[in-house]
Amino acid sequence: MIDKKSIRKDILERRAALTPEEVKKRSRVMTTHLLSWLPRSAVRSIFLYAPIRNEPDLTGLIELCPDMIFSMPVVISPTQMEFYAVDASTSYTGNRWGILEPDDKNRGQISAADLNTLIIKPAVAADVNGYRLGYGAGFYDRYLVDSRAKHMIAVFAEFILPTLPHEKHDIKANFILSEGGVGEC
């Protein structure tokens, strides 16, 4: 089996070749699928992410679902992140990796995930079993260790693989969202 580093490099190169228009169009399709799925779920709050490097952009949900509670991650130490409440008026600033986070002045309270929370995780790739390949820092796996929230991987369809190498600490997702819809893992 190919190692995580090789898979990551290959897929990031392929994803970098996507045009901004293609990413936007495919992200809209994914958002539409998620909007159709949400009423059938018990989700009341969504933990999103700020997309980088041609990841699917689902941040439009914040304006499309005004009754939903949204939160975004903030890296608070080299090994830890927390999610802070956001709304359509929140302003953002780039962290040391250039990832947008709610700025200090506009952060709501730290959000606690519960059974009615959906945590949407970005990914370089995912496999059909619900394992994700991220950038290798492990923030989501550490955050999700004791979480009872549902979690979903958001990834473009061609980056869903039959299998990915995974380790004991890798947290399996409940769902995968792609242009094909929401699939259970």
**Contact assessment for residue 151 and residue 174, using Cβ atoms and an 8 Å cutoff:** yes
The pTM score is: 0.94
CB contact set of 122 (below 8 Å; sequence gap of 6+): 49, 51, 52, 55, 56, 134, 154, 155
The type of residue at 1 is M
Q: Could you identify the residue written with the tokens 């679902």?
A: 65
Whole-number Å distance between alpha carbons of 87 and 95: 19
pLDDT band at 136 (very low <50, low <70, confident <90, very high): confident
Go through 49-76 and write b for each residue having 16 or more CB atoms within 10 A of its CB, e for each that does not. bbbeebbbbbbebbeebeeebbbbbbbe
- State the pLDDT at residue 158: 97
Q: Is the pLDDT of residue 106 over 80?
A: no
pLDDT value at residue 109 = 84
Question: What is the percent of the chain where pLDDT is above 70?
Answer: 99
- In this prediction, residue 1 carries a pLDDT of 55
Cα distance between residue 45 and residue 119, in whole Å: 9
For residue 70, pLDDT over 90 is answered with: yes
pLDDT tens per residue across span 26-39 = 999 999 999 999 99
Q: What pLDDT score was predicted for residue 149?
A: 96
Q: How confident is the prediction for the chain on average, in pLDDT?
A: 94
Q: Which two tokens stand for residue 139?
A: 């923030």
CB of 174 closer than 8 Å to CB of 130? yes
CA distance 125 to 156: 8
Q: Does residue 137 surpass a pLDDT of 90?
A: no
Residue range 135-148: mean pLDDT, rounded: 90
* Averaged pLDDT for residues 87-98: 90
On the question of pLDDT at 146 being above 70, the answer is yes
Q: What are phi and psi of 145, to 5 degrees?
A: -50, -50
Residue ranges of domains in the chain, CATH in brackets: 4-184 (3.40.50.10420)
For residue 60, which phi and psi values (nearest 5 degrees)?
-65, -20
